[in-house]
Each structure stands twice: as structure tokens, then as C-alpha cells.
Amino acid sequence: MNAPQLVLASTSPFRRELLARLGLPFSIANPAVDEFPLPGESPESTALRLSEAKARAVAANYPEALIIGSDQVACLDDQIFGKPGTHENAVKQLQSMRGRSVNFFTGLCLLNTKTGQAHIRGVPTLVTFRDLTDLEIENYLMRDQPYNCAGSAKSEGLGIAIIAKMDGSDPNALIGLPLIALCDLLKIERYSVLKQ
């Protein structure tokens, strides 16, 4: 029996690069989902809901596939930091996070479109940022331009220089796709990552 098609419901180049590390064939689909949190929704709930929403948004086009959806939300105290979009927003985000620890919560969904079964996991990472000066923030943003990254930091790039420490179970989660959890979910679906 042939393995189901693997589909990444994301146009993120970072998630694409991460999934490619597993050496599996996969397709890309644009989920086109509104990524704003609902009123009163916790950061964890937002990330989990959006990861499933992204997978389900493309499901109709792939009737016998395993679809991967993922979303990340950064949170400090009660403030949620999404993708800054602009330089000005990124400056504000990093200024408010400097010298502090920020929770990055990554939601992951693996949807089997044949059965309708969705497996959902949340992977938290606590990131402590260095106490950056305004000039360091400007220099970082001009070089790395992380305007499409939650929390305005790309740990896989120069962003590692603005981070003092990270605590989490999967270093890939901070980049946007928790591969350890994904391998667990693929195993549940009897999809072998280590097949010959």
C-alpha cells in the first residue's frame, strides 16, 4: 500500500526548510487563514486552533493525505506578539522583550484527510532575550529583517545573537515546525520517517 501524500499547509520558507530535513517528499499548499487571535483566547489556544485551521483549510484539495499545519504565538505577560509586518512594529516588539523571558508557543496539527482524524500538539519554548540597546535592535533588524516572524526574531539566523537562552524540548519549534512532535504524530499515522 502506498504511503499517503504529505502536505505542508504553509508558505513559510522556514517551515519548508525544516520539513525538508526529514528527507521526505511533500507538497506545499497555501492555507490562507486569518491568523488573528479570537477575543479572550489564550496564546496556546490561538496557536493550536490556527495550526488545525491551516490544515483543514487545504484538506478538500487532498482527499488522501497527511496535512501538516503549524502556527506560532509569542507572549509576554498578557501581550501577544505575532508577526510584526513592519520595521516599526518589530522595533516596538524587541524593545518590550529585551532583558525578559518570552513564551513562544508552537501549535502543530497532523490531519489525515482520509479519516478526518486530527492530531494536535503544543510545543512551548521559553526564550530569554539579551538586554539590547536601541542601536543593537536597529542593527539586528536591518540585517535579519524578521518581519514575518512571531516575536521579531529568527533564531536560525542572526537572531541567535539577541537571545541569551532558550528552554524547550525541540529547537526546531522556535523556528516554526516542531520536528520531534511531528515525527511522533507521523508514527501514530504509521507513516515511517525512516523508511528505506
CATH number, domain of 46, equals: 3.90.950.10
Q: What percent of the chain has pLDDT over 70?
A: 98
Residue 18 and residue 10 in contact, taking contact as beta carbons nearer than 8 Å = no
Catalytic: 71? yes
Confidence of residue 149 (pLDDT cuts 50, 70, 90): confident
Rounded Cα distance between 84 and 14, Å, is 16
Report if residue 29 sits inside a domain. Answer: yes
Report if residue 196 sits inside a domain. Answer: no
State pLDDT tens for residues 138-147. 999 999 999 9
> Considering its fold, how many domains does the chain have in total?
1
For residue 170, pLDDT over 60 is answered with yes
pTM: 0.91
Which contiguous run of DSSP H or E holds residue 164? Answer: strand 163-168
Compute the average pLDDT of residues 157-186. Answer: 94
* Buried-exposed string 38-72: b where 16+ CB fall within 10 A, e elsewhere: eeebebbbbbbbbbbbbbbbbbeebeebbbbbbbb
Rounded Cα distance between 132 and 123, Å, is 27
Report if residue 195 sits inside a domain. Answer: no
Question: Which pLDDT does position 196 carry in this prediction?
Answer: 53
State pLDDT tens for residues 66-88. 999 999 999 998 888 888 999 99
Report if residue 128 sits inside a domain. Answer: yes
Question: Which pLDDT does position 194 carry in this prediction?
Answer: 86
Task: Quote the domain boundaries for residue 94.
Answer: 5-188
DSSP label of 181: H
Compute the average pLDDT of residues 80-106. Answer: 94
In order of 42, 90, 93, 170, the CA distances from 96 in angstroms are 20, 10, 5, 25
State pLDDT tens for residues 180-194. 999 999 999 999 888
Active-site residue, selected from the candidate residues 71, 134, 170, 184: 71
